[in-house]
Amino acid sequence: MDQERTEPSPPSPRGPVSAAVREYLLGSGPLPRPEEVASAAAYGDDLQLALHLCYELHYRGLDGVPPDLEWDPELLHTRAALEDTFLTALRADVPARDDVAGALEELLVEPAEPGGVSHFLAEQGELWQVREYAVQRSVYHLKEADPHAWVLPRLHGRAKAAMAAVEFDEFGGGRADRVHAELFARLMDDLGLDTTYGRYVDAACAPALATVNLMSLLGLHRSLRGALVGHFAAVEVTSSPASRRLAKAMRRTGAGPAAEFFYDEHVEADAVHEQVVRHEVVGGLLESEPNLAADIAFGIDATEWLEDRLAGHLLDAWRTGTSSLREPLSGDRKEVSGIS
């Protein structure tokens, strides 16, 4: 299905900071006060949604929000304060190191007792949990690869050429029907979910928003180009084995052929991408800018740290038979047993 380009409605606020940012975007109120921004929890719903609102102006925009607000100086000042809180917390929680090779090798090691989301869904997940996982991930996958594209003008030589090659695959290799965001929309359709861009932001938890906000934060700052490459490497290195398990989950729960195909595609494509990213993108960047080693390692480690937080949220809910979403999946087209 070729998705119609639409601007999503601004999601509902989750606290005073996101409420003020939303009202400012819609022209009906001032931005949050500095003390409100400073007191917001770095990984909490309020700050993460406020960042999401700011960042969406750099993607498709938001319905009812003038496009020129993308570069509004006052809004950018508020966004910078939100980013500082988020990034400062991440740097405090993620130990600093410059061992890029070690960080990459750790990604390749399967835990002795697998307990991640893809393991859970592959072995015991139910269809309602697969649907929730798709909802949480839709915040990113419906714009898959877009945040990483921002790094291309900031690279050169081997790193740039290899990054462009991988992104070309992510965007369908020149075929609109193979764009990965389009493939995910078909997965959602198989699951009876609404494929409209931005439809499920209100349902997504703060840990899910944080994983996407990290990409946007790193992509929009040239000074963080090394960290974005690290993030990209973490995604590509871990994608193939996780996608194999998720493809199994799709088959076992009867999610549908398009759902199966999305992860089958990532098993094959990302196995190749892993080698290109490790040796050419990361290797090329280190060759030309060795001073970015610590930034690359931070991008890898911060990605894994936030992914672990999201996994903890999902599994804590599912293991007790409760929903991981902020609002129920009411009114969707597919009836499933369990939570809906």
Same domain, 120 and 217: yes
Report which of 208, 189, 325 is spatially closest to residue 259, judged by C-alpha positions: 189
Same domain, 79 and 125: no
Same domain, 249 and 147: yes
DSSP string computed for 191-228: TT----TTTTTTTS-HHHHHHHHHHHHHHT-GGGHHHH
Residue 118 lies in a domain: yes
Same domain, 81 and 171: no
Total tally of structural domains belonging to the chain: 2
CA atoms within 13 A on the CB side of 2: 3
Among the three residues 41, 76, 92, which one is the final residue of a domain in this structure?
92
Among the three residues 46, 69, 92, which one is the final residue of a domain in this structure?
92
Residue 170 lies in a domain: yes
Residue 7 lies in a domain: no
**Torsion from C-alpha of 300, 306, 308, 311, nearest 10 degrees:** -130
Residue 273 lies in a domain: yes
Residue-by-residue pLDDT tens, the chain, 340 positions: 555 568 999 999 999 999 999 999 999 999 999 999 999 999 999 999 999 999 999 999 999 999 999 999 999 999 999 999 999 999 999 999 999 999 999 998 876 567 799 999 999 999 999 999 999 999 999 999 999 999 999 999 999 999 999 999 999 999 999 999 999 999 999 999 999 999 999 999 999 999 999 999 999 999 999 999 999 999 999 988 999 999 999 999 999 999 999 999 888 776 778 889 999 999 999 999 999 999 999 999 999 999 999 999 999 999 999 999 999 886 454 444 344 3
Residue 283 lies in a domain: yes
CATH number at residue 313: 1.20.910.10
Residue 216 lies in a domain: yes
Domain containing residue 302: 99-318
H or E element: which one contains 303?
helix 293-318
Report d(CA 225, CA 242) in Å as an integer.
Answer: 26
Same domain, 81 and 109: no
Same domain, 173 and 79: no
Same domain, 256 and 185: yes
Same domain, 86 and 128: no
Same domain, 69 and 36: yes
Among the three residues 35, 57, 92, which one is the final residue of a domain in this structure?
92
Same domain, 138 and 258: yes
Same domain, 33 and 153: no
Residue 314 lies in a domain: yes
What does residue 156 show for φ and ψ, rounded to 5 degrees? -155, 170
Same domain, 177 and 64: no
Q: Is the dihedral of CA 49, 310, 118, 149 positive or negative?
A: positive
Residue 324 lies in a domain: no
